[in-house]
Chain A
Amino acid sequence: MFDGWLLSLIIWLPILGGAAVLAIGRRSEAAVRQVATGFAGVTFLLSLALWFAFEPGGGMQFVEKRAWVPTFDIHYHLGVDGISMPLVVLTAFATLLVVIAGRTGIQYRPAQYMGAFLIMEGLMIGVFAALDAILFYVFWEAMLVPMFLLIGIWGGANRIYATIKFFLYTFLGSVLMLIAFLYLRAQAGSFGILDFHGLAIGLEAQILIFLALLAAFAVKVPMWPVHTWLPDAHTEAPTGGSVILAAITLKMGAYGFLRFALPITPEASQELAWLVIAMSLIAIVYIGLVAMVQEDMKRLIAYSSIAHMGFATLGFFVIFQAGLGADAGDGALMAMTGGYVQLISHGFISAALFLCVGVLYDRMHTRNIADYGGVVNRMPIFGAFFVVFAMANAGLPGTSGFVGEFLVILGSFQASFWYALIAGLTLIVGAAYSLWLVKRVVFGPVGNDRVAALQDLDGREFGLLAVLALLVLGLGLYPQALIGMAEPTLVELMNDVSAALSAAR
C-alpha cells in the first residue's frame, strides 16, 4: 500500500520540516524544538514502517520512478533493498537522537541548527534510496552543504580550517565519481544505477571507473590515507554534527562500495582488492595505534571510527580471496555480512560515544582527556553507560561491536591467516585505546574541582543513552534480526559479482 510514495515521504517530509522550522525560527524557539522533534519523530516512525513492511530478499522495494529530465534520460528513481533499507532506518533514528539531544545543548540559532539537521536527514536518506546516478549525485553533494554549515557555524575554535578541509576533500572525490557516471551513461544508455550493474566493460575501463569511485568513497569512509579530514571535522563539529558524521555520513562511502564499485566493476574490484584490503588493514592497526595517543576525546573516537570502518571495507573486498563463488563461499559471505553489520553497529556505538563526550562537554567545555579523571565519582550512571559503550567499541561479545569484527575476522581467515591476525590485533589495540580512555576519564579519584562539581545525567540524556545501550546489546545478542534483513541481498550481490567474474573469464 505504501509502494508508490513512502520513500518520497521519508525523504521530503524532513526537508519540509526543515523549511518549516526555519520559517518559524524567528518567532519562538520553544516551537522550533517541538516542531523539529515532531518531524524527526514522524519520519522515524515512517522509516520503521519501511522496516516492518520490507520483504527480505524481495529485490528493490518501494520503487518509485518518474521522469525528471527526459532530455538526458534522468529519472526520479527511488527504491530500497536489504542493503539500503537498514541504513535509511538508521539515518532517521540518528537524526531523531540528534534533534532530541540538541533541545538543550544548542542555544545559538537553534532554528537554523535544527533545520540543517532535518534537511540533511532527507538528503542522506535520498542518497541511500536513489536508484538514478544523477539523483544520487545530487543528494550526495547536497548533503555536504548542511554539514558544512553545521561545522562552520556551531563548531569549535578551528572550525573554518576543518570545514574547508572537509569540503574540499569530499568534493574532490565526488567529481571523479561524476565523470565515471557520465562514462557509464554512455555505455548503459541511461543513468539508472541498476542498468549500470552487470554492464560488459573492459578491464582497463573498469579499473579507471573503479579508481574514480574509490576516490569518492574512500574519502567518505574514510580510508587510510585520505582520512585526515575526519578527526578535524569531528573535533570542530558540535555534538549532533559528530553523531551524524560518524553514524551516517561515513556509511555513505561504504554503501557506495556495495551499490556501485562491486556490482559495476567486479573485475576491477577483484583486480584491486589487494589495494583496498591493504588500506583497510593499515586503517585497523595504524589508525588504532594513532587513536591510542590522542589527547582529545573526540579525536580519539574519530580515529577509532576510522579503524572500525576498516573492518567494513576489509569485509567487502576480502570476499574475492575468501572463497567467493566457490561451493564453500561461507568465508566470503561471513566477511561481507560482518562488514555490513559493522556499519550499523558502528552507527550505534559511535553515536553513543559522541553523545557521551557531548554530555561531558556541555558540563565542562573541554574535550581534553587530561582535564577529566574520576568522573564516575560524581556521575555514576554516566560512568556505567560510558563503560558499556567503551566495551562495545572494544568489541566485547554481547555487544554489537563484536558481531561485525568476529564475522570479518572469521571470513578473512579463509583468505589468509595473516589478514585475520592483523585484523585481530584490534582485539588488543581497540581495547587499549577504549579502556585507557575509560581509565583516564571515568575512573580514578576526582581529578579536579570542576569534576567535583559535575551533575549526573538528566532525564533526556539518560533516555538517549539507554536507548542506544539497548540497541547495542540487542544487536549484540541477536544480530540475526539485522542479518536476516540484509543477507539475502548480500548473497544476491555476491552471486552477481561471481557470475560476472566467471563470464569475463
Chain B
Amino acid sequence: METVLYAIVLLPLLASAVAGLAGPWIGRAGAHWVTILGVGLSCVLSFWVLYALAWGGREVIDFTVYTWATVGDLSLEVGFLVDRLTAVMMATVTFVALMVHIYTIGYMHDDPGYQRFFSYIALFTFAMLMLVMANNLLQLFFAWEAVGLVSYLLIGFWYTRESAIFANLKAFLVNRVGDLGLLLGIAVLASAFGTLHYGEIFTALEADPEATINLFGAAEWSLATVAALLIFIGCMGKSAQVPLHVWLPDSMEGPTPISALIHAATMVTAGVFLVARLSPLFELSTVALTVVLVVGALTAFFMGLVGLVQNDIKRVIAYSTLSQLGYMVAALGVSAYAAGVYHLFTHAFFKALLFLGAGSVIIALHHEQDMRRMGGLAKYMPITYITMLLGTLALIGIPGFSGFFSKDAIIEAVGYSAGGWATLAYWLLVLGVFVTALYSFRLLFLVFHGEERLDPHAKAHLHESPKVVTLPLILLAVPSVLIGLVTFGPMAVGDFFYADGSIRVLAEQTGLDRVADGYTGVLGFMAHALVTPVLYLVLAGIAVAWLLYIRRPDLREQVTAPLAPVQRVLEHKYGFDWLYIQGFTGGGRALARGLALVGERWIIDGGLVNGSARLVGRIAAGVRHAQTGYLYHYAFVMVIGALLLISLFVVRTLFA
C-alpha cells in the first residue's frame, strides 16, 4: 500500500519534471503524453485506494515518509494519512486533473508555452495530492503554499498580459494574508501540544478540551477557539471566503483549464477540506463554528448576487464558485462536515464541467469571453451545449442531479440547526438558490439561445470543439448527473466518513443527523424537495431568467432601472477591490514611501549618520582655530594657563 501511495504522488511530480525540464527535447506530444500517463496512472491508483478503504476493508493508513527536521522534542515530518476523507479527495483531484490534462491538448493547442503548461498542471496535481494526503500540519502548510505557487504561476501563465500578472500577484498576496492566520494557528497548536501530527493533536485536545491560552494580559482564551479561528483565516484565503475572496474572480486571467482545475474543483476547496480534516478541533469551539457558518452563508448569498451582473462568461462561473464555496463552508459551520465535503465532491465535477464548457465556447469564438457578443450557439455546438446544460442543472439543484443532493442536504442541515445565526444563514442559503438559478440560466440563455450577437468573422469559422475537448466534457457530465443517486446515501447522510474517524462530530444531534434520521432513500429525498421552498425558488429563478433573456428582453430595462443603485453596488463588487487596492495597498505603499523618506533618508541617514559626521566636522573646524601657528598666541595661552593654575592654588591654600 505504501508503495502505491508513493507512486500516486511521485508519478505526477516526475511527469511534471520531465515535461518542464526536457520540454524542448520531448516536444509537444511528448509533454502531454508523459503528464497524462503520470496523472492517469495516479488516478487509477487513487481509485484503487478509495476502493480499498471504502469497500476493501482497509484500515486507515498513517505513516512517516521522512523527518524534515527535529528540534528538541518536536519532530517535523513529512508523512501520509489516508482515510476515506483523503481517499475521496485523491480520487476527485486526480480524476478532474486527468480530464483537464486531456482537455488542455485541445485548448492550448496553439500556445507557445504548451510544455510549460503541462508541467505546471502536473506539478499542481502533485502538490494538491500532498495537501490532502498530509498527516501533519507542517506538510499541509508546505502543500498549501505549493498549490498557491502553482496557482500564481498559472494565473500569470500569459505573462505578457498586464492584467494577468496583476491578478497573480494579487492572488498570492491575498492568500498570504490568510496564510499568516494559518501559520499562527499552527504555532498555537505546536506550542500547546509540541506536535503537528493530526492524530496526536486530536488526542491531546480530547484529553484537555478546556485548555486555554494567554494572548495578551491575563485574559484566558479557549485554545480551541483561538486555534480554530486562526486556521480558518487561512481557509478563508484559500477557499476565497468574504472578505478574502477578491483574488478568485481575477484569477480568471489564467487559461481556462486551470480555472476549472485549480480555481473551481480542487485548490479552492482546500480550505473546506482542512476544516473537515480538523473537525475534532472545530467541534470544540462553538464560537469558531458560528464564525464559519456566518462567513460561509454571507459568501454564498452575496457573491452569487455579483454573478448576476457579470458579462464575462468565466467571471459568472467564478462568482458561482465563490457562492458554492460559501455553501460548503456554511455546512461546516453547523457541523455538517460530511455534507460540506459531499458538496465539494459533486461540485468538483459540475463546476469543472461548466468551466471547461465555457472554455470550449471561448476557443470556438477565438478567445471571446464577453457574453454580450455570444448567443444562439446551441445549434453550432450541441455537445458543449448539452453538457453545460447538464452541469447547470446539477449546479442549481434540480432533483436527481448530483448538486441537488449535496446542496439540499446543506440547506436542510442548516435549517435544522438551532440558533439565530443558523436561521439567518438558512435564509441566505435558501435565497441563494434563487440567485444561483437566475445567473446560471442567464448565462445559458445569453450564450446558447436567443439572438446571435456574434462577431461575423468568428461566426464564419464557428464549429463544435475537437474531441479532446468534448470528451472530458462528456466524462464530467456523467458524474455531474448520476453520482448523487449512487453516493448520496452513504456519503452525505450515512456514516461513510464517520466510520473510520475521518470526520468526528461531538454534538449529540446536529442538523445533518436530523436530515439523516428522516432519510429514506434518494427517491424519498427527491420527493421531499417538493414540499420545501427551495425547489420552487430554483424554478422561479429559471422562469425569471427565461422571461428576461428569452421571452421579453425589453423588460430588462424596466426591471433594472429602479434597481440601478443596487446594480452599481454589485458592479463594484461591494467596493472590496477599491478598499484593498486604494486603502491597503495604496496606504501601505504611501506608508512605505514615507518611511523610506522620513525614517531612512531624513532621520537615520540625514540626522544620525551624516549629522554626526557633520558634527565632528564642525567641532574640528572650531577647534582648528586654536591652532594658529603663531608662537605668541601659544605663549600667551601658556601664560594665562599658568596664571590660572597659580591663582587656583592660592585660592585653595587661603580658604582651606
Contact = CB atoms under 8 A, between A and B. Distances in A.
Contacts of A387: 153
Contacts of A374: 159-160
B71 A443 contact: no
Interface stretch (A55-63, A135-143, A426-434): A426-434
Contacts of B71: 330, 333-334, 337, 407, 483, 487
A121 B68 CA distance: 32
Given A435-B172, A444-B162, A479-B69, A293 B180 contact: no
Contacts of B641: none
B378 interface: no
A410 B191 contact: yes
B595 A290 contact: yes
Contacts of B216: 417-418
Given A289-B595, A398-B142, A417-B216, A444 B159 contact: yes
A428 B234 CA distance: 13
Given A410-B187, A443-B159, A487-B71, A428 B177 contact: yes
Interface residues of B, number: 53
Nearest to A165: B609
Interface in B367-384: none
Contacts of A427: 176, 179-180, 183
Contacts of A396: 145-146, 149
A294 interface: yes
B370 to A, nearest CB: 23
Nearest to B78: A477
Contacts of A418: 216
A290 B597 CA distance: 9
Please classify the interface of chain A as helix (H, G, I), strand (E, B), loop, or mixed, using the class held by over half of its residues: helix
A439 B165 contact: yes
Interface in B5-50: none
Nearest to B194: A330
Given A333-B72, A376-B159, A420-B187, A328 B146 contact: no
B599 A290 contact: yes
A424 B191 contact: no
B604 A228 contact: yes
Given A289-B595, A374-B160, A443-B159, A483 B69 contact: yes
Interface string B137-174: 00001100110010011001001101001100100110
A100 B215 CA distance: 51
Given A289-B592, A410-B190, A428 B604 contact: no
A495 to B, nearest CB: 12
A5 B193 CA distance: 47
B591 interface: yes
A228 B160 contact: no
A378 to B, nearest CB: 12
B17 to A, nearest CB: 12
B165 A444 contact: yes
A425 interface: yes
Classify chain A's interface size: 35 or more
B74 A334 contact: yes
Contact of B588 (A229, A289, A294, A376): A289
A387 B120 CA distance: 14
Contacts, number: 139
A146 to B, nearest CB: 24
A340 B191 CA distance: 20
B600 A228 contact: yes
B225 to A, nearest CB: 14
Interface in A122-160: none
A15 interface: no
A377 B146 CA distance: 24
B68 A391 contact: no
A182 interface: no
Given A293-B589, A397-B145, A443-B165, A431 B187 contact: no
Contact of B184 (A413, A428, A432): A413
B517 interface: no
A227 B177 CA distance: 28
Contacts of B334: none
Contacts of A436: 169
Interface string A437-460: 001001111100000000000000
B647 to A, nearest CB: 37
A395 to B, nearest CB: 9
Given A417-B216, A428-B173, A478 B187 contact: no
B74 A330 contact: yes
Contacts of A463: none
B215 A397 contact: no
Nearest to B588: A289
Given A294-B596, A334-B72, A480-B67, A228 B179 contact: no
B188 interface: yes
A290 B72 contact: no
A480 B172 contact: no
B608 interface: yes
A424 B172 contact: no
A177 B608 CA distance: 21
Given A420-B184, A427-B179, A480-B67, A432 B591 contact: no
A374 B179 CA distance: 29
A480 B68 contact: yes
A413 B187 contact: yes
Contacts of A286: 595, 599
A289 B591 contact: yes
Interface of B: 66-74, 141-142, 145-146, 149, 152-153, 156, 159-160, 162, 165-166, 169, 172-173, 176-177, 179-180, 183-184, 186-188, 190-191, 194, 215-216, 588-589, 591-593, 595-596, 599-600, 604-605, 608-609, 613
18 contacts: A225-B608, A227-B604, A228-B604, A286-B599, A289-B592, A330-B74, A376-B159, A397-B142, A397-B145, A397-B146, A398-B146, A417-B215, A420-B187, A428-B173, A428-B176, A431-B173, A446-B160, A477-B68
A-B interface, 3 closest residue pairs, ranked by CB to CB distance from nearest: A413-B187, A289-B592, A397-B142
Interface of A: 165, 168-169, 225, 227-229, 286, 289-290, 292-294, 328-331, 333-334, 337, 374, 376-377, 387, 391, 396-398, 402-403, 406-407, 409-410, 413-414, 417-418, 420-421, 424-425, 427-428, 431-432, 435-436, 439, 442-446, 477-480, 483, 487, 491
